[in-house]
A and B are shown apart, each in its own frame.
Chain A
Amino acid sequence: MGMVAKSTLMKWHYITGLILVVVVGIHLAFRWPSYEASIEWAGPHGVYEQLMNIGYMIAIFILLYAATYHAMNGLRTLLLELHQGKYWNIAVDVVIIIVGVFIVIVGTVALVGALLTV
């Protein structure tokens, strides 16, 4: 990834890490008081209720993007620590970008569609 300085990538790794502490906290708090009830479609604290909560959905969008960046940059760092080489480095960057863009697109399509439907 010659276009972006490594220090910039790591700076955003730390920033997204701090953002994730907040939004993952919100995501887990919405399992309260019962995990089983929180994954039911209907009922109090259920998925339908969560989709209708705009504040929670904003947190979920931020979670999707921050977690994808944080996870993909973390995986990239790990893979480059394990091995280095001209073609390996390029292959790692290409695979990481493809997987990251794929997760973001799939997640965004599902969330936006669900918000427009309910």
Chain B
Amino acid sequence: MAEKLSTKRNPPKWSLWFKGLDEWLLIFQKVSGALLALYLIGHTLVISTALNFGHPTPLTWERIIGLIEGPQVIGNVHFGAIIEYLVALLVAIHGANGVRLILMQYFGLGLPKPERRTYPMVPSPMKKPQVIYKYLIIIVVVIFIALASYVAFIG
């Protein structure tokens, strides 16, 4: 007896989004972007207030920045410096991953040429150019972490 074809729609499989590195990098890009957008609003307001909205004095600057920086938590390092350090890391990863996405999505660099689908199929994120992109991100971010750690905690 012939089987009846199901006409029921399958619900979206959200779990597919949480599978591969590329999916995680895209989710990271969106979440970090939202956090950085909120930080931009706060940062602009704080620095503008510290600059006394165009009438800066050393006293206003030191008072506002002193308030925002908070107490010293590790040696001479203020609480605010640690927050800024973490934001800078977020910026570095968002930036490095963003350049990868721009090169790939806008300029099409690193995308494979159309080809016949033959077994075993290798998805394009697993192919060499895109894997190199991801290693480059790691190298850039590691160098950034080294420099930022020096500036925040040693310099």
Pairing of A with B:
yes
A78 touches B33 (CB 8 A): yes
With beta carbons under 8 angstroms apart, the residue of A20, A39, A40, A112 that contacts B54 is A112
> Is A80 close to B, CB under 8 A?
no
B34 touches A106 (CB 8 A): no
Q: Nearest Cβ distance between residue A19 and chain B, in whole angstroms? A: 11
Known: A36-B81, A109-B53. A75 touches B65 (CB 8 A): no
Of all chain B residues, which has the CB nearest A21?
A: B95
Known: A39-B65, A113-B53. A28 touches B41 (CB 8 A): no
A75 / chain B contacts, CB cutoff of 8 Å? 33-34, 37
Interface string of B36-65 (1 = CB under 8 A from A): 110011001101100111111010011001
> Is B151 close to A, CB under 8 A?
yes
A18 touches B99 (CB 8 A): yes
Known: A18-B99, A33-B151, A75-B34. A103 touches B41 (CB 8 A): yes
Q: Give chain A interface residues in 33-78, CB to chain B under 8 Å.
A: 33-37, 39-42, 47-48, 51, 64, 67-68, 71-72, 74-75, 78
Q: Main secondary structure on chain B at its contact with chain A?
A: helix
What's the Cα separation between A103 and B43 when bound, in Å? 10
A71 / chain B contacts, CB cutoff of 8 Å? 33, 36-37, 40-41
Interface positions of B (Cβ within 8 A of A): 30, 33-34, 36-37, 40-41, 44-45, 47-48, 51-56, 58, 61-62, 65, 69, 76-78, 81, 84-85, 88, 91, 95, 98-99, 102, 105-106, 147-148, 150-152, 155
- The contact sample of 25 A-B pairs, CB cut-off 8 A, is A14-B105, A17-B98, A21-B98, A28-B88, A28-B91, A31-B151, A35-B85, A36-B76, A36-B81, A48-B58, A51-B56, A68-B40, A71-B41, A72-B37, A103-B40, A106-B44, A107-B44, A109-B48, A109-B54, A110-B47, A110-B48, A113-B52, A113-B54, A114-B51, A118-B56
Interface positions of A (Cβ within 8 A of B): 11, 14, 17-18, 20-21, 24, 28, 31-37, 39-42, 47-48, 51, 64, 67-68, 71-72, 74-75, 78, 81, 99, 103, 106-107, 109-114, 116-118
In the A-B complex, the 4 residue pairs with the smallest Cβ-Cβ separation, listed nearest first, are: A113-B54, A110-B48, A34-B155, A71-B37
